[in-house]
Amino acid sequence: MTTPAPGLASTSERRLILAHVWVVVLSFGVAAGMAMMQALSRANLELPYRSARMYYMSVTGHGVLMALVFTTFFIMGIGYVIAQKETGFIRWRKFAWAMFWLAVLGTALAGWAIFTFRASVLYTFYPPLQAHPAFYIGLTLVVVGSWGWAANMIVSWRAARRTSQERPVSLAMHATTVNALLWCLATLGVASEMLFLLIPWSLGWVETVDPLLARTLFWYFGHPLVYFWLLPAYTIWYTVLPREAGGKLFSEPLGRMVFILFLILSTPVGFHHQFQDPGISANWKMLHTMLTMAVTFPSLVTAFTVCASLEVAGRLRGGTGLFGWIRRLPWGEPFVAACLLAMLLFLVGGFGGAVNAAYALNSVVHNTAWIQGHFHLTVGSATALTFMGACYWLVPKLTGRELELRLLAQVQPYLWFGGMVLFSFTNHVTGLMGLPRRLFETGYADAAQAQTWESLTSVSALGGILLFVSAGFFMLVMLGTLLAGPRKEQPAIVWAEPLAEPAGGFRNGLWDRLGLWFAVAVLLVVLAYAIPLWDMLSMTRYGSPGFKPF
Ligand code: HAS
Ligand code: CU1
């Protein structure tokens, strides 16, 4: 191992973080390859091996690897970086390794079930589609591994608090701890779904499963899951981007507030994925809608704060006039470009989210290609592109090696942006034209309606090709840097400075009381879920046997 950036982790700590990075890079590579096949398949191109069985296996593999594995391992890795910087070392190192290997084992089990065609149930694994028990047990192990990480973040936060009673922990530590708390609360839903419903059912201990209850427990988890993906991207936008772009963070207290609002508002909103489900009364759907509208607020504050920070950067770099500062931002820096382009795509994806959350509009877009357009702009861009950019920033610091193939790293975010524009925008439009999501055969035997969206599915496939090339560039840069980048001392990690000291100075304030806010979050969850869940458990329930159509 070479000398890392000053102040960054001992050799064994870097090994732990780099182990996470390896899983990130490899899972991303496999998932990106499958995505390309799917995009071409949906354009009805005759490919070798094209079949419904192959398609649903591939969509499951892509969804699980991208949404559950790539993201979770990145989030754990960056969390360790933050905790180590905050407190000087990573706590419970052996336990952290054990949790890492548990999550890897879980990924391997689920991967085996998927790639041997035993789990074509898509990443939301809705019953009555039924998978091999290894799939459910594997994913449960990934979650248990991530609980070990969450405990580590919370303990590190407490240690940092103890050493500095007066001054709050850094915004980065605050944010990663909030994300860990949010994760603990959210995963209760999926853990109960797995333990009480899906695992016993897949093992044959019970004959039937209640799809409505399972979906409800899934979405109790599924919505905060999207913020579990988003908050690390926001953490990077608040604490790394302003400085790398040459400026300062516009307001630190606003950042602290934003993460707390996510902690309390992320979970009690899951019914916005179930507007079209029977068995949940309109009143509860209404409450969840209102809370969904509320949870867009911290994102709007983020749009403002991050934009203001970028304006500071652009002006410090000599930008003038109304928009001159935008041109002055370092668009050629791979990390900065990835973040800026991710943000631009998220602007569109976020507003699409507000459309989804409106009941009447949801009935138009639900289960159409619009939804896959939406989530490729959010998790597929805001999150994934920011994480890729963060790898360009972080991996050289971890390895003490320069970024290899820098030109490819500079081009890669633009290719992703272009690919996503072609892919996601056309998916929004074809969705409005009635094209269902998750459909293998989009041609409907040349039906007239299907012909109207045909040219657009080809544009979307073209987007898929650009995304594939972009993913290939990312892989080459990462593998090159990890294995062969030229050795050179790297600058230390320094969080973005705030533009001005907060009024009243840097002191622990209301937003730093994580225990209090966690209690508020639990209370809101009970309010939003206790009665509808009780109703669901007490109504006459009709279970379903399992189905394995593919
Ligand atoms: Fe969503 C479905 C509502 C955000 C992910 N969402 C999904 C699914 C996924 C997903 C994966 O209400 C599909 C699930 C499935 O498979 O069935 N979503 C929302 C709302 C928001 C939202 C209201 N979603 C996300 C994020 C995700 C994500 C974030 C992942 C990371 N979503 C829904 C609904 C459904 C749904 C329904 C169900 C649909 C159905 O019927 O099935 C909001 O949180 C969004 C708020 C965001 C904004 C944008 C803020 C913009 C920022 C960027 C600033 C950029 C600047 C540019 C300033 C309001 C922060 C600066 C640049 C310069 C160059 C200067
Ligand atoms: Cu959601």
136-148 pLDDT, tens per residue?
999 999 999 999 9
Q: Which ligand lies nearest to the CA atom of residue 360 in the structure?
A: 1
Q: What does pTM read for this prediction? A: 0.96
Give the ligand 1 atom nearest the CA of 124. 16
The pick from 299, 317, 348 for probing ligand 1's pocket by mutation, whose C-beta has the most ligand atoms within 8 angstroms, reads 299
Nearest residue to 485 (alpha-carbon basis) of 363, 364, 414, 395: 395
Amino acid identity, residue 496?
A
Query: So what's the pLDDT on residue 129?
Result: 97
Query: So what's the pLDDT on residue 2?
Result: 47
Give the ligand 1 atom nearest the CA of 310. 65
CA-to-CA distance for 143 and 68, rounded, in angstroms?
A: 9
Arithmetic mean of pLDDT over the chain: 93
| pLDDT tens by residue, 20-50 | 999 999 999 999 988 888 877 777 777 777 8
The pick from 226, 304, 364, 385 for probing ligand 1's pocket by mutation, whose C-beta has the most ligand atoms within 8 angstroms, reads 226
| pLDDT tens by residue, 299-350 | 999 999 999 999 999 999 999 999 999 999 999 999 999 999 999 999 999 9
Task: List the residue whose alpha carbon is closest to atom 40 of ligand 1.
Answer: 366
What b/e sequence results for 443-455 when a residue is b if at least 16 CB atoms lie within 10 Å of its CB, and e otherwise? eeeeeeebeebee
Report residue 235 as tokens. 């953490």
In the CATH scheme, what is the homologous superfamily, with its name and number, of domain 11-484+511-535? Cytochrome c oxidase-like, subunit I domain (1.20.210.10)
C-alpha 518 to ligand 2 mean position (Å): 20
C-alpha 349 to ligand 1 mean position (Å): 5
The domain ranges of the chain are 11-484+511-535
Name every residue whose Cβ is closer than 8 Å to that of residue 12 and which is 6 or more positions away in sequence. Answer: 93
Give the ligand 1 atom nearest the CA of 295. 44
Categorize the per-residue pLDDT at 164 as very low, low, confident or very high, splitting at 50, 70 and 90.
confident
Percentage of the residues of the chain whose pLDDT score is greater than 90: 83
Name all residues whose Cβ lies below 6 A of ligand 1: 124, 226, 229-230, 272-273, 292, 295-296, 299-300, 302-303, 306-307, 310, 326, 340, 343-344, 346-347, 350-351, 353-354, 356-357, 362, 366, 371, 374-375, 378-379, 382-383
CA-to-CA distance for 299 and 384, rounded, in angstroms?
A: 17
Lowest mean pLDDT among 156-165, 168-177, 290-299: 156-165
**Please, is 288 exposed, middle or buried when counting C-beta atoms within 10 Å of its C-beta (0-12, 13-18, 19+)?**
buried
CA-to-CA distance for 66 and 225, rounded, in angstroms?
A: 13
Catalytic sites, residue numbers? 223, 227, 374-376, 437-438
CA-to-CA distance for 132 and 153, rounded, in angstroms?
A: 33
C-alpha 379 to ligand 1 mean position (Å): 8
CA-to-CA distance for 102 and 141, rounded, in angstroms?
A: 6
Task: List the residue whose alpha carbon is closest to atom 63 of ligand 1.
Answer: 340
Query: So what's the pLDDT on residue 39?
Result: 76
Tell me the C-alpha to C-alpha distance, in Å, between residue 421 and each of 52, 131, 291, 384, 460.
27, 34, 29, 15, 9
